[in-house]
Amino acid sequence: MERIKNYIDGKWVDSKSGETFRSNNPANKGEVVGVVARSGREDVDQAAKAAQGAYDAWRLTPAPRRGEILFRAAGILLRNKESLGRLETREMGKILSEGLGDVQEAIDMGYYMAGEGRRLSGETVPSELPDKDMKSVRVPIGVFGLITPWNFPIAIPSWKVFPALICGNTVVFKPSSDTPVCATRFVEALVEAGLPKGVLNLVHGPGGEVGEYLASHPGVDAVSFTGSFDTGKRLEGICGAIHRMIVTEMGGKNAIIVMDDANLDLAVEGALWGGFGTTGQRCTAASRIVVHRKVYRKFIEKFKRRASRLKLGDGLQKGTDVGPVINESQFNKILREVEIGKKEGAKLILGGKACQKGNCSEGYFIEPTVFVNVTSEMRIAREEIFGPVVSVIEADNLEDAIRIVNRTAYGLSSAIYTQDINSSAVAERDLETGIVYINASTIGAEIQLPFGGIKHSGYGRKEAGGRGGALDTYSRWKVIYRDFSGRLQKAQIDK
Ligand code: UN1
């Protein structure tokens, strides 16, 4: 059991109140992974003050130098990859290969953003007047409040912290209370890499208190949040009222379309990976499979057969396909949603229950669950469940399938399995989601491109990578005109 502290102004400290909370292993409730500082307002005040104090020196540090620190941090994460991956499995529950993948994403993000330190380019364009030049430069925004979820406990912090830092911002980072140890290990890598004090501050604590206070704090200039729609919308309201920039990345009700000409075995594999990978706890999870009526029965038969063979258990054990869900409240919520699905008339063909057999008896395990004969009006087809529950919906044709996919409040990710190039082109154009996959599942976005959705899935700019993701979110444009003619020149008028 480990004592996990805040990191404020270059020091590891307990919370002012001295209170703590526990982070437990969801596969084995009795195992405490860390005893963690439970912060309150005073701790956030101190962290914001430290971030403000460090801002000028960091903003004026040449970006390539900032990049060198990120590069070293990525190397440290790489060195510790195995132990970090195992920690992810213990603290969050995802199976080891996925834990290692999560760490790899953070390593990739670190190297990628380190390189951006030498490329934070803007534009220089000619002036319409003689002896005058003009350019746009990327400048930092100030102190960023970063709030991250538990489902990608190292990767998502890396999507936010690395770009915020390379652009010259300083940070107050509030990770999920379900995965504070992973977040701390991530911060430790940056500390070991030589990040100056005050540039990155870590504050643990409950979202309702610490996160909301951070988002509204006068010492913070901008906020980036990933988590549920309800919380994100509340934070958008708080920030909107005080004229503060906020980026939110929220839920999804993502769907895979399976056309009658699809490679059906490939589509089944995609649906399994998208629906039950990470125990369905990805905002990109494929919680709906919309199947052409000509292959509906055949798909269900194959999908059920494959899903029923998935092995549930502790993700550290070899051969486990699906780990536990994160905590008791999610466990109860998912089972409630399953009951609602049954009452609404959807047909449950697999799972639907907690699993308490064998090595599942000590954790929050829910059997991979499949509903068929689902219609888009049903709650299970509309609400994000964030667990191992997949709804199969029948469609008449491509247009009908696209209509069904678009008929939710969310718009993060979608996919189509088809061999027809024209069908894929129509889907690519008409699916109302931030990300579209062709012949691949709805999960597994890469960091070199922006990540994020539309409608209830996100607000503001995109996340993660690509210029439109990382850099545009964490910097703003400043435009400079320089007149060296020595006389008054008037644009538009002196032409
Ligand atoms: C999330 O669930 O919040 O595309 C992010 C994916 C992952 C990221 C998911 N790379 O599924």
Average the pLDDT over 449-463 and give the result: 89
Q: Which two tokens stand for residue 154?
A: 């190292």
Query: What does pLDDT average to over the chain?
Result: 97
Task: Determine the distance separating the centroid of ligand 1 and the alpha carbon of 161, expressed in angstroms.
Answer: 16
- In eight-state DSSP terms, residue 311 is P
Output the CA 202–ligand 1 centroid distance in Å: 23
What span, in angstroms and rounded, lies between the C-alpha atoms of 123 and 134?
9
Query: Residues lining ligand 1, CB < 6 A?
Result: 151-152, 226, 282-284, 443-445
Residue 151 CA, closest ligand 1 atom number: 2
- Residue 231 to residues 7, 227, 305, 437, Cα–Cα distance (Å): 25, 7, 37, 28
Q: Which atom of ligand 1 is nearest to the CA of 252?
A: 2
Residue-level pLDDT at 300: 98
Q: Hey, whose CA ends up nearest to atom 3 of ligand 1?
A: 283
Task: Kindly state the average pLDDT of the residues 422-448.
Answer: 97
Structure tokens belonging to residue 492: 């538009």
Predicted confidence at residue 135, as pLDDT, reads 98
Rounded to an integer, what distance in angstroms lies between the CA atom of residue 127 and that of residue 482? Answer: 10
* DSSP-derived 3-state class of residue 444: coil
**CA–CA gap between residue 423 and residue 174 (Å, rounded):** 43
Distance of CA 298 to the CA centre of its chain: 34
Residues forming beta bridges with residue 286, ordered by sequence position: 254
Strand partners, 464: 450
Q: Which of 283, 330, 441, 456 to mutate to test the pocket of ligand 1 (most atoms within 8 A of CB)?
A: 283
Average pLDDT over residues 393-412: 98
**Alpha carbon of residue 293 to chain centroid:** 34
Residue 460: what are its φ and ψ, rounded to 5°?
A: 85, -150
Measured from the Cα of 283, ligand 1's closest atom is 2
pLDDT of 494 strictly over 90: no
pLDDT tens for each residue of 265-287: 999 999 999 999 999 999 999 99
Per-residue model confidence (pLDDT) at position 219: 98
In the sheet that holds 413-417, the strands lie side by side as 347-350, 369-372, 389-395, 286-292, 254-258, 413-417, 435-438
Cα(124)–Cα(53) distance, rounded to whole angstroms?
Answer: 32
Residues 6+ apart with CB under 8 A from 237: none
* Residue 434, pLDDT score: 95
Question: Does the active-site annotation cover 249?
Answer: yes
Q: Among 283, 355, 360, 463, which one carries the catalytic annotation?
A: 283
- CB atoms < 10 A from the CB of 1, how many? 10
What does the alpha-carbon distance between residue 232 and residue 452 come to, in Å, rounded to a whole number? 14
User: With pLDDT > 90 as the criterion, what percentage of the chain qualifies?
Assistant: 96
Selecting among 98, 105, 212, 249, the annotated active-site residue is 249
What is residue 278's DSSP assignment?
A: G
Q: Which of 104, 326, 451, 462 to mutate to test the pocket of ligand 1 (most atoms within 8 A of CB)?
A: 451
- Checking if the pLDDT of 466 tops 90, the result is no
Q: Which residue has the tokens 């062709």?
A: 438
- Give residue-wise pLDDT tens across range 304-336: 999 999 999 999 999 999 999 999 999 999 999
- DSSP per-residue string spanning 396-412: SSHHHHHHHHH-SSEES
Q: What is the pLDDT of residues 152-161, one digit of tens each?
A: 999 999 999 9
Rounded Cα gap, residues 210 and 123, in angstroms:
39
Q: How far apart are the first and last CA of the chain?
A: 73
Q: Per-residue DSSP letters for 140-195? A: E-SEEEEE--SSSTTHHHHHHHHHHHHTT-EEEEE--TTSHHHHHHHHHHHHHTTP
Q: What pLDDT sits at residue 326?
A: 98
What pLDDT score was predicted for residue 48?
98
pLDDT for res 465: 73
Closest CA to 283 of 259, 313, 253: 253
Distance CA 216, CA 336 (A): 33
Distance 303 CA to ligand 1 centre (A): 23
Per-residue pLDDT, 469:
76
| Ligand 1 atom nearest residue 249's Cα | 3
Active site residue 339: no
Sole residue written with tokens 């990525």: 74
Tell whether the model's pLDDT for residue 140 goes beyond 80.
Answer: yes
Percent of the chain residues topping a pLDDT of 70 = 99
The per-residue pLDDT for 463 is 73
Q: Encode pLDDT of 178-235 as tens digits.
A: 999 999 999 999 999 999 999 999 999 999 999 999 999 999 999 999 999 999 999 9
Residue 213: name the closest of 233, 238, 231, 185 by CA. 238
Distance 448 CA to ligand 1 centre (A): 13
Q: How far is the CA of 430 from the centre of ligand 1 (A)?
A: 22
- Residue 368 CA to ligand 1 centre (angstroms): 20
Residue 495: per-residue pLDDT = 78
